[in-house]
Amino acid sequence: MKPGINNYSEIGKLNKVLLHRLGNEIEGLVPDNFERLLFDDIPYLKIAQQEHDRFAELLRENGGEVIYYADETAKALSTDEIRKAFVDDFVADSGIYSEEAQEAVRDYLLSMPSKKLVEKVIAGIKKDEVAVKNKGSLASYIASGYPYYTDPMPNLYFTRDPGACVGNGLNVHHMSTVARRREALLLRYMYRYNKDFAPEGTRLWYDYDQEYSIEGGDVLVLSKDIVAIGLSQRTTAGGIERFAENILKESSFQKILVFDIPKSRAFMHLDTVFTMVDYDKFTIHPEIEGPLQIYEITLSGDGKAHFESIQGELEDILSSELKLPAVELIRCGGDDPMAAQREQWNDGSNTLAIAPATVITYERNYVTNDLLEKKGIKVITMPSSELSRGRGGPRCMSCPVNRDDL
């Protein structure tokens, strides 16, 4: 295992992975804030934690080191100066109307040990937890019916999205929605101040304060030379271009393939409809199986980005780009349109490869799992009755930090 961040494929043996174990932020979900917090159901926390613990256990049983968001962020907050800067940044990004409330929230957080501070930032700060003498503004009075000063982060257990480890570097993403944007702030502090997570010399390909959005579910490392990115509901052309310019100039990667996928929740990220499970095998949602628009980004001789449009069948494009005689696309749900819809809703295409031809999937997607096994893939299943209510699968719930090179 190479030290630090090392991620040059989707299928190399997974050595180290960043997770978030669900906590009290889930208890902040109610029907009234579903739209605001991007949920459409409420996981039962106790069972969701048991399911997530099983996920972590499977990763460890297969040789992976599991690290957690709260632990790694707390390690980064190692001095009073860093703690204060983190709290200032968090408060500034939380949309608190009055200066009096901002100051009260700062004082409240800084009174806590670092681990508890991070857990509270994730769980959300309710108004009845903090005493504010003067509401300070008309806007504060109007907003006073809302129970939180700072919203909970229930989406954080999908650790794939706030950032991405690519090659020997890291993206800290500017996320598309206000509900998720502060999640990446935790990763930014990990990168800057936690040298166990990101040793000196770790490259930063994209940062939190960029103006264009990228999310990690759209980033797939196809090989040591090629990164695929989805142009999706959550990832913009501007963000892709900025990332491509940085990584192509400063790394061994030679090419970015941009997959233009439908801009809808069913196709939220590229990895909800397309994942790599072996050198020449991919899971796929049948609805993107036809001719697909792909853009290729390379560097020209003068060091500037060069763009080229590619159209064709996905199998042909992948086999050509990966220099393989052929690739195989394994349909989520097989040929049964009802099974495809049902299992896609429960993230049947969102597999996590932990080694070549070895994947973790949700056990409920039995049609797709059976197809994978018939194609020679070792399928390790996990329970998901509550985790799947958040609309994300094993790949969504994991941020690989270190894989073996192929």
* Residue range 44-68, pLDDT digits in tens: 999 999 999 999 999 999 999 999 9
Residues 6+ apart with CB under 8 A from 81: none
The domain made up of 14-69+154-403 is a member of CATH 1.10.10.10: no
State the DSSP code for 155: G
What distance in Å separates the CA atoms of residue 163 and residue 355, rounded to the nearest whole number?
Answer: 21
Stronger pLDDT, 141 or 70, i.e. the higher one: 70
Residues 6+ apart with CB under 8 A from 30: 42
* Length in residues, the chain: 406
What distance in Å separates the CA atoms of residue 386 and residue 325, rounded to the nearest whole number?
Answer: 41
Place of tokens 């699968």: 393
**pLDDT score at 287:** 75
**pLDDT score at 264:** 67
Characterize 21-42 residue by residue with b for buried, 16 or more Cβ atoms within 10 angstroms of its Cβ, and e for exposed: bbbebbebbeeebeeebbbeeb
What distance in Å separates the CA atoms of residue 254 and residue 35, rounded to the nearest whole number?
Answer: 40
Residue 146 corresponds to which amino acid? Y
Task: Tell me which H or E stretch contains 149.
Answer: strand 148-150
State the DSSP code for 384: -
Stronger pLDDT, 144 or 256, i.e. the higher one: 256
**pLDDT score at 200:** 93
Place of tokens 């598309």: 176
Q: Where in the chain is the domain with CATH 3.75.10.10?
A: 14-69+154-403
- Let me know if 332 is a catalytic residue: no
Based on DSSP, count helices (H) and strands (E) in the chain, helices before strands.
Answer: 13, 19
Q: What is the CA radius of gyration of the chain?
A: 21
Quick: pLDDT tens for 176-220: 999 999 999 999 999 999 999 999 999 999 999 999 999 999 999
What distance in Å separates the CA atoms of residue 115 and residue 139, rounded to the nearest whole number?
Answer: 32
C-beta neighbour count of 329 within 10 angstroms: 16
What distance in Å separates the CA atoms of residue 85 and residue 35, rounded to the nearest whole number?
Answer: 30
CA 284 to chain centre: 19
**pLDDT score at 266:** 63
Quick: pLDDT tens for 258-311: 999 877 666 678 998 889 999 999 999 887 777 788 999 998 878 788 999 998
Mean pLDDT for all residues in the chain: 93
Task: Tell me which H or E stretch contains 297.
Answer: strand 292-299
Beta strands in 47-138 (DSSP E): 65-68, 125-126
Tokens found for residue 273? 């409809």
Measure Cα distances from 124 to 127, 183, 192, 321, 324 in Å: 10, 12, 24, 45, 48
Helix axes 69-76, 114-123, angle to 10 degrees: 130
Alpha helix ranges (H) inside 124-160:
138-142
pLDDT at residue 139 greater than cutoff 80:
no
- Kindly name the residue from 165, 332, 396, 399 that is annotated as catalytic: 396
What distance in Å separates the CA atoms of residue 249 and residue 297, rounded to the nearest whole number?
Answer: 12
Neighbour-count burial of 349, counting CB atoms closer than 10 A to its CB (0-12 exposed, 13-18 middle, 19+ buried): buried
User: Which residue in 8, 397, 19 sits closest to 169, CA to CA?
Assistant: 8
What distance in Å separates the CA atoms of residue 247 and residue 342, rounded to the nearest whole number?
Answer: 37
Reading phi first (left if > 0) and then psi (alpha if -120 to 50, else beta), residue 151 is in beta
Cβ atoms of 194 and 172 closer than 8 Å: no
What distance in Å separates the CA atoms of residue 95 and residue 85, rounded to the nearest whole number?
Answer: 17
pLDDT at residue 235 greater than cutoff 60:
yes
